[in-house]
Homo-oligomer: A and B are copies of this chain.
Amino acid sequence: MEFLVRIEVRLPADVPDRERADLAASEVARGRALQDAGTIVRIWRIPGKVANVAVWKAADATDLHELLTSLPLFPWMDIDVEPLALHPLEGPRSG
């Protein structure tokens, strides 16, 4: 099942540069792994924000929650999840 997930990162200003860089590097690595596994299907930057909107594939909401909490920046994220259903245009075409 697919979900539309909107994530805004609110890392406070007082996080030291070193820790910030380490977190960013781990976040990218985890993102790539989820992408390679087919979990993050598509992902876009929301212009002007430290935020993204992405299509995630997961078994269900429980599985999705575990995947989201595996993100290194999870403690500083505001996350909104929207369930997605198959649209007829993406279903089988008769005839």
Which residues of A does B touch, CB under 8 Å?
1-5, 7, 12-13, 28, 31-32, 35, 40, 42-49, 52-55, 60-62, 64-65, 68, 75-77, 79-90, 93
In the complex formed, the residue of B with least CB distance to A2 is: B44
Cβ distance A79 to chain B, nearest Cβ, rounded Å:
3
Cβ distance A63 to chain B, nearest Cβ, rounded Å:
8
Question: Out of B1, B31, B48, which one reaches A81, CB within 8 Å?
Answer: B48
A85 touches B44 (CB 8 A): yes
B80 touches A48 (CB 8 A): yes
Cβ distance A51 to chain B, nearest Cβ, rounded Å:
10
What is the bound-complex CA distance between A29 and B3, given in angstroms? Answer: 26
